[in-house]
Structure 1
Amino acid sequence: MNPDYTIKDYEDNSWPGVSGLFKEVFGKNIDLKHFKWKNEDNPQGKSIIKLAVKDDKILGLSCIWRFRVNFLGESIQAGQSVDAMVDKDHRKMGIFENMAMAAVDDMRKEDMQLRFNFPNEAAYMASLNKINIKKVCQIPQYIKILKGRKALGMFSGKKIINAVGGALFDLYGKAGNIIFKKPKIYDIREVKSFDQDFDTLWDKVKNEYPISIERSSQYLNWRYINGPQGYKAFAAYKNDELIGYIVAALEDKPGKAGETLLLGHIADLICIKEHKDGAADLINEAEKYLKDSGACAISCWMIKEWFYAEMLTKLAFLQLRSPSVLTALPVGDTAAAMKDFIYDYKNWYVTIGDSDYI
């Protein structure tokens, strides 16, 4: 341990220093209500939060966001590493590594089995040889362009390129809607609260998702209904039986020319596989909501082996890039005995709602 700082657990009186560190490192004004919702109100358990402190100044923060994870039909405790940051004047001093390993030690003491997270490629490369994480895969991002010129502003600041490329994307999107869009055959309803029907749905499908965050009604309500962010959820029914749901979100994104763009997200999507057309109806309903809200494009994380990827492609979504990496670290004995299974990306089902990006 570097004698110039100590690693300690987060306490409420640390909040001013923590909020200041968020502002300095990420340029974010973090609301205390949001921080408590995320790390203290979580029905799956309080986060493990480590601080690096020197002379009462907070130099670093590392959080393990707690989850129950479906693991081959069994429920295990897992943690997602989020909000790892170090003061810019105190980097390359081992602070990141020491906070991470202190958190992993606590995870082992609490019988947590698995640590995972979703860094970008640069952050993943920077963490190699610091902690023993391993890359599972890059997560494909599917994009549907709703307003071509505006959407291309996320990638280019050149007006001519955006105008020409945007027109082409608009034509592709319109053609896709004509070719692939079918009449809606499922009853789509807005979800104001996730009830026990969603527990029943998850019990029906969970064995199809070998490694996946448990989507109980309690979790879904905390994540998408009761939190400080704004989401819109829809459910699909066939003969009054719940067969799937989708969660949509909106995000302000900076454009390359300095403008602010509105990006839509499919935050979560679960559907009984035998009702693929229900998944299509849900995606179309989310698209309508996001388009009416002014989104210029819709993003969806989806590993390509899941049947949803086929549906997205048919609905004129394009796989353009893979901005995030899924990494994993077995912590407990159960997970350690299944390393090969954990590092096979086809066993994972992840959506952007499983992360803290939105």
Structure 2
Amino acid sequence: MSGEYAIRGYRPTDREAYLDLFATVFDGAPGSEWFAWKYERNPYVDDVPIVVAETGGEIVGARSFFALEMETGSGRVPILQPCDTMVHPDHRRCGLFTRMTEAAIDGYRGSDVPFFFNYPNANSMSGNLKLGWRVVGSSPTAYRIQRPERYVAGRLPAVVDRLVGATANRSAAAYHWVRRRVARTGEAPSDVAIERRSTLPAEELASIDDHTYNGTFRPAKTKTFYEWRFENPEWDYDAYLARRNGDYVAGFVVGSRKTARGTTVQFTDVTPQSGADPSVIARLADRVLADRATATTVVCATERLPPEVRAAFGFHSDDAFPLSRMSRPATLVVRPIGPQDRKGGDLREEDWTVDGARLDDPTNWSISLSDRDWC
């Protein structure tokens, strides 16, 4: 289907049409409370950062942006992460993705936003690259499969299916029991106490990170961040805090939700972002896994758990065998917006350096699951 399309910014009256389009494109919509949290109550932007395509009074496309605050060499700046990109099936191959993206780039020139970063899927990767994005590198995720029967269910005859699933569960439970026992034989810090909080203590979590720029682009984990970020109604969150000598020295924000394959648990946020004592991180991981023993899968960003901790507790990265045979890591891409007086998609090499750091250098980034819009 073709026609005349208007590319414009989001209006408050577009919310219902946006959610209807979301349901059509993604086979179901999260709901108005999710939209209000993610876009309308986002503390880092004054507007709702969405560009829409409209024809005949109908919203048929949307290019949305998840706002965060990033630490750079000159201080904290707002950053936009493209996400929830949608084009109605009847209006694809009409150039709407390109037109909406170009409108967003031009719309943010001259603003406080210096660049975009995101994790496009296979469908939108080529479109991003054509419009000036560059690949920074992969962002591996590690998985601890605790109930493997959820992954084989329905693939075999019923009797065999139940037998294989039960056997797989017992084997996984035994494997993880051994791994935890081995992990506990290490030098666990006896002066560390672990606390679990069902209401996230934003001030305490924010106090753990020293917020000193360490040469990498990373979201600012402030009190504002913790107060807003984990209000996502699609997940349930708990905080786990490690206290030593009266001070909080590390913390996890743990998200969980039920899916068709059971309960997924993720280490959504791990703080501090650098310099944590691996033995303290191991104590936190051990407590979380003890509390979540019945979950189907536990997920973490590989960068956020030291490799010895991942190995000790049976996590496997999706960039290595065997998980690499079944999935692939998320790919981080980035694009500077460019100066206000230069329209269109032209970028120069100097645009790729922000406060002395190259945007497309993977060593200049420090990212966790909480920095991804869908976690």
Residues 1:176 and 1:236: Cα distance change in structure 2 (over 3 Å):
same
Distance (whole Å) between structure 1 residues aligned to residue 313 and residue 360 of structure 2: 30
Displacement after TM superposition at 1:357 (Å): 1.6
SS at structure 2 position matched to 1:207:
coil
Displacement after TM superposition at 1:3 (Å): 6.4
Residues 167-187 of structure 1: CA deviation (Å, up to 9, x unaligned): 543333222111112556321
SS at structure 2 position matched to 1:273:
coil
Query: Which of 353, 367, 373 lines up with 1:337 in the alignment?
Result: 353
Runs of 4+ in 1 over 6 A off after TM superposition: none
What is the one-letter code of the residue matched to 1:180? A
Matches for 1:50-199 after TM superposition, within 5 Å: 50-72=51-73, 74-120=75-121, 122-150=122-150, 152-153=151-152, 157-158=155-156, 159=161, 162=165, 166-181=169-184, 183=188, 185=190, 186-191=192-197, 192-199=199-206
Query: Which of 206, 213, 222 lines up with 1:216 in the alignment?
Result: 222
Displacement after TM superposition at 1:71 (Å): 2.0
Residues 1:347 and 1:153: Cα distance change in structure 2 (over 3 Å):
farther
Residues 1:32 and 1:128: Cα distance change in structure 2 (over 3 Å):
closer
What is the one-letter code of the residue matched to 1:173? H
Unaligned runs of 5+ in 1: 255-259
Residues 1:307 and 1:297: Cα distance change in structure 2 (over 3 Å):
closer
Displacement after TM superposition at 1:129 (Å): 4.8
What's the counterpart of residue 30 of structure 1? 30
What is the one-letter code of the residue matched to 2:251? Y
SS at structure 2 position matched to 1:132:
coil
Contact 2:211 2:220 in 1 (8 A): no
Percent identity, aligned pairs only, is 20
What's the counterpart of residue 242 of structure 2? 236
What's the counterpart of residue 257 of structure 1? none
Displacement after TM superposition at 1:166 (Å): 4.7
What is the one-letter code of the residue matched to 1:337? T
Displacement after TM superposition at 1:245 (Å): 1.0
What is the one-letter code of the residue matched to 2:371? D
SS at structure 2 position matched to 1:109:
coil
Distance (whole Å) between structure 1 residues aligned to residue 149 and residue 232 of structure 2: 33
Contact 1:301 1:351 in 2 (8 A): yes
Q: Across the two proteins, how many residue pairs are aligned to each other? A: 343
Distance (whole Å) between structure 2 residues aligned to residue 248 and residue 133 of structure 1: 31
SS at structure 1 position matched to 2:4:
coil
Please tell me whether residue 347 in structure 1 is matched to residue 364 in structure 2: yes
Residues 88-144 of structure 1: CA deviation (Å, up to 9, x unaligned): 011111101111111111222313111011223x13544255421122122211111
What is the one-letter code of the residue matched to 2:201? F
TM-score (norm 2): 0.82
Please tell me whether residue 39 in structure 1 is matched to residue 45 in structure 2: no
Contact 2:117 2:332 in 1 (8 A): yes
Displacement after TM superposition at 1:74 (Å): 2.6
Displacement after TM superposition at 1:211 (Å): 1.1
Stretch of structure 1 that moved more, 270-279 or 209-218: 270-279
Matches for 1:298-337 after TM superposition, within 5 Å: 298-303=298-303, 308-319=306-317, 320-321=323-324, 322-332=328-338, 336-337=352-353
Contact 1:47 1:66 in 2 (8 A): no
Distance (whole Å) between structure 1 residues aligned to residue 77 and residue 338 of structure 2: 10
Residues 1:130 and 1:6: Cα distance change in structure 2 (over 3 Å):
farther
Residues 179-226 of structure 1: CA deviation (Å, up to 9, x unaligned): 112556321123434344444322x254347111110011111112x4
What is the one-letter code of the residue matched to 1:314? A
What is the one-letter code of the residue matched to 1:91? R
Stretch of structure 1 that moved more, 206-215 or 11-20: 206-215
Distance (whole Å) between structure 2 residues aligned to residue 184 and residue 157 of structure 1: 45
> What is the RMSD of the two structures over their aligned residues, measured on CA atoms?
2.6
Query: Which of 191, 200, 207 lines up with 2:207 in the alignment?
Result: 200
Contact 2:146 2:169 in 1 (8 A): no
Residues 34-88 of structure 1: CA deviation (Å, up to 9, x unaligned): 2011112112224411110001011101112211101247312210001110000
Distance (whole Å) between structure 1 residues aligned to residue 98 and residue 307 of structure 2: 36
Residues 1:307 and 1:36: Cα distance change in structure 2 (over 3 Å):
closer
Distance (whole Å) between structure 2 residues aligned to residue 134 and residue 352 of structure 1: 21
Contact 1:21 1:87 in 2 (8 A): yes
Distance (whole Å) between structure 1 residues aligned to residue 61 and residue 189 of structure 2: 51
SS at structure 2 position matched to 1:58:
strand
Displacement after TM superposition at 1:237 (Å): 1.1
Stretch of structure 1 that moved more, 272-281 or 326-335: 326-335
SS at structure 2 position matched to 1:28:
coil
SS at structure 1 position matched to 2:109:
helix
Contact 1:190 1:233 in 2 (8 A): yes
Distance (whole Å) between structure 2 residues aligned to residue 65 and residue 131 of structure 1: 19
What is the one-letter code of the residue matched to 2:267? I
Displacement after TM superposition at 1:298 (Å): 0.3
Contact 1:247 1:286 in 2 (8 A): no
Residues 326-345 of structure 1: CA deviation (Å, up to 9, x unaligned): 11112246863249722222
Instruction: Give 1 or 2 for the bigger CA radius of gyration.
Output: 2
Distance (whole Å) between structure 1 residues aligned to residue 365 and residue 114 of structure 2: 16
Higher helix share: 1
What is the one-letter code of the residue matched to 2:176? G
